[in-house]
Structure 1
């Protein structure tokens, strides 16, 4: 008989100690309420040599270690095993976290050479993006899938509800879980700051869906672009001048914005309205921008959208012009902006973001959105058999959106970008982009 593939087991992992009664109703913050009804997906890949050294041929011991340490760490991250009851409360009832163990008839090396979106999705315990808001998600706050490859390597796919977790929260949780797995008891962990966000940004009586209208009828395609550390240095020098030195993220995002915009302008058919203006939005982690600043172990959606003013693009648009606009946009999310979010002026901020989204839907205007996970410590997640050889996410399959992550060496950036099929076909031949980036065919 041949080897069996597919799901080996499904289990619900509950915290090793019940959540105390006084913690059983966890308040979401106002920023959590604004977060999309998606999941935050993360995939961590570990090499066969590291796994075999740790577990020999017995993968069930490794699986059990993951489950035991997950059960322990959930006592600190108690809302993660609860259920969302309405727009502002998680009922921390210890219903648990789904843990799937599966076996796949593919080699890890095939994925590492050329990660394909549909294959990566199979390594996750649930579909991360619910693009139909009316379909209520009744599954848990968090779910895990351990996948074994033919070669002996493994992938750990984790999905967190975006209603309580951003990328920083995901990195913080995974590193705490890994430390517990390595034998550092909960007493030795930096405790997560669970209530901080809802105290600083109390929930509001609002109902906002920032993603409504984003899903169009056009066919989209997602590709991964790799920028090495040396390429990013060249790009920063190309854009910079004595008075302006873009950051790595600003430089890469600006080039992707400019190249995507040029592709869109080239792919317009006769009779279609010309693109005359463009804008960009970028997510900004506000933990370090608050006074006093918040710890990276503060749990929740402690980020905001920075939305640019429109740039006229009928003629040639320079990289530096767009980079300066990017810097100005991200710089708007400062102490004063955060104070507005905390006061009754929060309505103005929400209306401005909603207005920018509506504006981007107008003909002749092309809007692009980016989120950066650069700098979050996904490559540090060591459960006892070594650090990941590759860490990735699954980008949102909505046109004109990009997600940036660090490469393993910490110097490069990997960008997943979703465009219409037509625009992507043009983008793949953009000489300026190809001077700095390589992409998967």
Structure 2
């Protein structure tokens, strides 16, 4: 049954202090210029406090709006508008703030999350085609109040200026201000807003294409791996000791390839050849001085694991080894080139590597994309309502995409996986995968 979420109001929240004239133009860094013109979405769900019958929605909303205005003064580019593919006009036009009423209980969402229902808690569709990006808000927020007194805070930030780490950093600062005030004894850190000095922009007009929505029948499902199952999974690799993310990626990758190999039109004995792309946060990898985690911008690179020839037969360790080797290639030397005169050429290598692999295999290859938010502290975002009960994003509306999220307890992983319908049916039956899944929805 469809869950009814009714819009109540909409307004623009402007920064509490005018942006100084010398900050009115915020330059994109090179990696921002190459980022897709979508939004990065996140939704945080908060249960009603045990010691109260219900939250005062007006009081919570008032605090959220006041603290949002103050947070926008710190993250001043988020209150502006995109200016071509070079900069943001920080004219303090403000962020979009919506309020909505959910005519059902929060427990209905938590017990059976669905990607189509989840988007109702966002201010707008994050992957809509944007006719004129210069007219769009950079930041949108939706505050939704449930019948039970619980709330949801949905946020969309333009990918032209933010990645997952940027969204996490903004939410952390906003929530600190909501609890302690901008001048209080808060653990408030001034954001790093100089990525363009690290990765200088170029005179280019290239943008990632906006039409990513698949025309094929897709299914998105969530698979949860708890700490105990992850421990067993990592033990399967022996002395190679992969990280949690590497282990889960290898397992999902292998299971998905085996599912694809069971398509009716695939007649060979082994599954099709395959490769993965994986997003790597580069903030801590920059040398000689790593960037702080609250650095605003698209400070990531997408690596491509070398093509695996499944006709020779491969084990779980082979998938993990291929991934780890590719991730480790994003080192100080790589990033030094990315910052220099050859930065644009190096960035293009990252963007075109997957396409070249597909061309070299005459299109007979399955490519899977992974992005991990596991280490981002979304579950520490406390607006005075306690820690979130659940935090999620929404997967890309394109096949073979995987988002990895952390869990509230801190030691698990939730994998939001989008596959073609027939592949998902086979994927869910994979015996090796089922040994480690603690919950699937």
TM range (shorter): over 0.9
Q: Could you state the TM-score of these two structures normalised by the residue count of structure 1?
A: 0.93
Structure 1 position 302 matched with structure 2 position 299: yes
Q: Deviations over 1:118-150 (max 9, x none)?
A: 1110000011113x4766463200000001111
Per the alignment, in what secondary structure is the counterpart of residue 116 of structure 2? helix
Q: CA deviation at 1:239?
A: 1.7
Per the alignment, in what secondary structure is the counterpart of residue 191 of structure 1? coil
Counterpart CA distance in 2 for 1:266 and 1:137 is: 45
Counterpart CA distance in 1 for 2:25 and 2:395 is: 31
Match of 1:260 in 2: 256
Counterpart CA distance in 2 for 1:272 and 1:396 is: 30
Shift of the 78–238 alpha-carbon distance from structure 1 to 2, 3 Å rule, reads: same
Counterpart CA distance in 1 for 2:263 and 2:439 is: 20
Match of 1:129 in 2: 127
Structure 1 position 346 matched with structure 2 position 343: yes
Structure 1 position 436 matched with structure 2 position 429: no
Per the alignment, in what secondary structure is the counterpart of residue 49 of structure 1? coil
Match of 2:413 in 1: 413
Structure 1 position 190 matched with structure 2 position 189: yes
Match of 1:147 in 2: 144
Q: Could you state the TM-score of these two structures normalised by the residue count of structure 2?
A: 0.93
Q: Is the 8 A contact 2:165 2:376 kept in 1?
A: yes
Q: For structure 1, which segment, 112-121 or 182-191, has the greater mean C-alpha deviation from structure 2 after superposition?
A: 182-191
Structure 1 position 318 matched with structure 2 position 302: no
Per the alignment, in what secondary structure is the counterpart of residue 283 of structure 2? coil
Q: What is the aligned-residue RMSD (CA, Å)?
A: 2.1
Match of 2:221 in 1: 223
Instruction: Tell me how many residue pairs correspond in the alignment.
Output: 432
Q: Is the 8 A contact 2:33 2:207 kept in 1?
A: no
Counterpart CA distance in 2 for 1:347 and 1:120 is: 37
Counterpart CA distance in 1 for 2:134 and 2:413 is: 32
Q: Deviations over 1:276-300 (max 9, x none)?
A: 4211111011111011111112111
Counterpart CA distance in 2 for 1:298 and 1:222 is: 31
Per the alignment, in what secondary structure is the counterpart of residue 293 of structure 2? coil
What are the ranges of 5 or more consecutive residues in structure 1 without an aligned counterpart? none
Per the alignment, in what secondary structure is the counterpart of residue 182 of structure 1? helix
Shift of the 258–199 alpha-carbon distance from structure 1 to 2, 3 Å rule, reads: same
Match of 2:382 in 1: 382
Q: CA deviation at 1:349?
A: 2.3
Per the alignment, in what secondary structure is the counterpart of residue 26 of structure 1? strand
Q: Is the 8 A contact 2:55 2:150 kept in 1?
A: no
Q: Is the 8 A contact 2:82 2:138 kept in 1?
A: yes
Counterpart CA distance in 2 for 1:281 and 1:388 is: 30
Counterpart CA distance in 1 for 2:326 and 2:202 is: 26
Q: CA deviation at 1:220?
A: 1.2
Q: CA deviation at 1:104?
A: 1.1
Counterpart CA distance in 2 for 1:301 and 1:270 is: 38
Structure 1 position 18 matched with structure 2 position 15: no
Candidates 95, 117, 120, aligned match of 1:119: 117
Q: CA deviation at 1:214?
A: 5.3
Match of 2:281 in 1: 285
Counterpart CA distance in 2 for 1:432 and 1:397 is: 27
Shift of the 91–122 alpha-carbon distance from structure 1 to 2, 3 Å rule, reads: same
Q: Is the 8 A contact 1:275 1:366 kept in 2?
A: no
Match of 1:60 in 2: 58
Q: CA deviation at 1:56?
A: 4.8
Structure 1 position 251 matched with structure 2 position 247: yes
